[in-house]
Structure 1
Amino acid sequence: MAEETMDELTNCWLLDGSGGGNKLIWEQAVSQHVDAKASLWLHLNYSQPEVQEWMVECSGLSALTVEALLQVETRPRCVMADGGLMLFLRAVNLNPGADPEDMVSLRLWVGEKRIYTLGLRKLLSLDDMRESIHQGMGPETTGDFLVQLVELLLDRAGVVIEDLYDLVDQLEESVLLVSSHQQRGQIASIRRQTIALRRFLAPQREALNRLSSERTVILTDEHHLRLREAFDRLTRFVEDLDAARERAGVVHESLISNLTEQTNTRMYVLAIISAIFLPLSFLTGLLGINVGGIPGADSPLGFAVVTLSIIVIAGGLWAFFRWRDWF
């Protein structure tokens, strides 16, 4: 496999055990992979045939594990596999021009000295991980890597959910002030986002619950504590999504009620106007028929009398409607 091809498909780091690490080219990564004395992290693009071939032949994982890691569609879950932890996660999509709810799939296998992460699209949380390693503030062990990555994913998801919650707050306030059909589109967008996010975050919560209870040499007691905190945090995110969806539903009902009330008010005003002008139209129509004997046809005051009569009738109808409290 050509070096330049693999460099395009992989990101290889050798952790130094103190929070830092060295970025490796593919040949160096393969050498360390064969005789790993320090923790090695390989990030691979699972859609490339070269990567799939390497995973099958050289990764050291069983065929069933490799097949699971290379699946096209995955759901969040956690299982023990080949002496390590296999984890399938979803991350919010914060790439430019992307929708956050179009969540990015991330597959991991974490052993005592090896870490495989596989993805197809750019993930900002992995960029955060690389930057922390570059600054010497990254993970010291593979267990540290796993826990820190989970926390980074939740940090990004928390920002998106908080923004979504703030948007619901703004809509609630705006609906109280003024209601418009444009707000219906915003509410529909919020409900669509909450449904899409919850679709993967809810099973991911169960995956973290399973991960926090796994007893393995990879995870220390501190790791289990941090994972339990991550589970509680993700539980709160799911509850916030449920609350946001319910609040959006209430806002939608309030908006529909306001719009219906506005429509009814307009229709009522039009009905009142029609009730006033209906007898006036009948009168003018009657006087406009082309037959003899129309009153005032030969009088110079005929138009003035008719106009005054119309004004008096309209005023009388208005006074009658006001007396009846019809408007």
Structure 2
Amino acid sequence: MTDPAEPLHALLLDGQGGARDLTGDEIRSWQPDQGVLWLHLDYSEPSAQQWLNEESGLPEVVIEALLTENTRPRATQVGDGLLIALRGVNLNPGADPDDMVSVRLYATPYLIISTRKRRLQSVTGLAADCRNGEGPRDVAELLIELSDRLVQRMGDVVEETEEALSELELEILEQQNASVRQSLSALRRQTIRLRRYFGPQRDAFNQLQSERLTWISADQKLLLREVSDRLLRHIEDLDMIRERAGMAQEEMISQLSDQLNQRMYILSLIAAIFLPLGFLTGLLGINVGGIPGADNPYAFELFSILLCILVALQLWLFKQRRWL
């Protein structure tokens, strides 16, 4: 085979958990009996696109899947190989975790070709472990290890999301402000987007277990099932977080409604107190003859005392009826 220009990783697994980087000449002279070859490419690079299309010798359906921009998690058997598309949470600096990063793989018993556009820490960490002698020994173990790392980082994000929700719930009980409402809405959006991608990924793991490939043993399929079960638990946690976030938002709306009702109630009481006062002052303020006390020098003081007595009677009446 020919060598792709500037691969991100070009590793030859030694079957003992270690791997070494290959040069272009070594890639061109590689034979399956030398060990498992793992090529990791950036599919947005023109050189990688050219190599896949013209020199890789892969089936057309595989090339199209490795180069596609938008992909859904899946696992499909192509001959004796396996075409896999997976997603991982975006842990790159300054990125949102729910902005999932996709990785595409075509795996045969002796060859793995993977592609991505953005950096995925699970792949980077796996390549580093291979160079340190702590990586997988064959293709099946590499797929299991990569799946496990993806799910593990998903679990970390789910745990962080749950902790953030707990803090928001506490803030809702202690205070009400616009920042809490915005944070809660952002958390709900993140949870919905994560749940949207986690579900298809579990379907891909299940499909991976069901494929009849001779180079994936029964024990390795059990390990894949464990990874799938862990992902299912994360999906269930996301569903619970989404329900809790919905309940927290309903509680916030209820508290805001109670505050509004309380303020409207106070305004209504104030209006009820000043309604008769306004009626009396308006009635006696008309410029027509016959107004009582117009010629009495003590009329204003007496009228003011009458208004104070009226307010006191109203307050007493409101208290008797438990309106205050």
Q: Give me the TM-score of the superposition, normalised by structure 2.
A: 0.91
In structure 2, the partner of 1:166 is: 163
In structure 2, the partner of 1:12 is: 10
- Kindly indicate whether residue 148 of structure 2 is the aligned counterpart of residue 151 of structure 1: yes
In structure 2, the partner of 1:281 is: 278
Q: Shift of residue 97 of structure 1?
A: 1.3
Aligned positions of 1:166-315 closer than 5 A: 166-291=163-288, 294-297=291-294, 299-315=296-312
Q: Which runs of 5+ in 1 are unaligned?
A: none
Counterparts of 2:90 and 2:276, CA distance in 1: 65
Does 294-303 or 191-200 show the bigger shift? 294-303
In structure 2, the partner of 1:65 is: 62
Counterparts of 1:216 and 1:20, CA distance in 2: 24
In structure 2, the partner of 1:126 is: 123
SS of residue in 1 equivalent to 2:214: coil
Q: Which runs of 5+ in 2 are unaligned?
A: none
Count residues with an aligned counterpart.
Answer: 322
Q: Is the alpha carbon distance of 1:195 and 1:30 closer, same or farther for their aligned partners in structure 2, counting shifts above 3 Å?
A: farther
1:281 alignment partner AA? G
- Kindly indicate whether residue 53 of structure 2 is the aligned counterpart of residue 56 of structure 1: yes
- Kindly indicate whether residue 113 of structure 2 is the aligned counterpart of residue 111 of structure 1: no
- Identify which of 2, 26, 29 aligns with 1:28: 26
2:5 alignment partner AA? M
Does the 8 A contact of 2:9 with 2:127 survive in 1?
Answer: no
Does the 8 A contact of 1:77 with 1:87 survive in 2?
Answer: yes
In structure 2, the partner of 1:324 is: 321
Counterparts of 2:302 and 2:231, CA distance in 1: 80
Instruction: Deviation per CA, 1:10-60: give whole Å up to 9, x if none.
Output: 32112222222212344433333x566111111111122221221123323
Q: Shift of residue 168 of structure 1?
A: 2.4
SS of residue in 2 equivalent to 1:193: helix
Does the 8 A contact of 1:65 with 1:82 survive in 2?
Answer: no
Q: Shift of residue 100 of structure 1?
A: 0.9
Does 77-86 or 269-278 show the bigger shift? 77-86
Does the 8 A contact of 1:44 with 1:117 survive in 2?
Answer: yes
SS of residue in 2 equivalent to 1:125: helix
Counterparts of 1:36 and 1:278, CA distance in 2: 98
Give the CA RMSD over aligned residues: 2.2
Q: Is the alpha carbon distance of 1:148 and 1:35 closer, same or farther for their aligned partners in structure 2, counting shifts above 3 Å?
A: closer
1:204 alignment partner AA? Q
Instruction: Deviation per CA, 1:124-169: give whole Å up to 9, x if none.
Output: 1112112212322111111111110001101111011111122222
SS of residue in 1 equivalent to 2:173: helix
Counterparts of 2:218 and 2:234, CA distance in 1: 24
Counterparts of 2:29 and 2:279, CA distance in 1: 99
1:72 alignment partner AA? E
Does the 8 A contact of 1:55 with 1:66 survive in 2?
Answer: yes
Counterparts of 2:62 and 2:229, CA distance in 1: 29
Does the 8 A contact of 2:66 with 2:114 survive in 1?
Answer: no
Counterparts of 2:91 and 2:123, CA distance in 1: 12
SS of residue in 2 equivalent to 1:157: helix
Does the 8 A contact of 2:32 with 2:110 survive in 1?
Answer: no
Instruction: Deviation per CA, 1:234-281: give whole Å up to 9, x if none.
Output: 111111111111222222222212211111111011100110011122
Q: Is the alpha carbon distance of 1:285 and 1:36 closer, same or farther for their aligned partners in structure 2, counting shifts above 3 Å?
A: farther
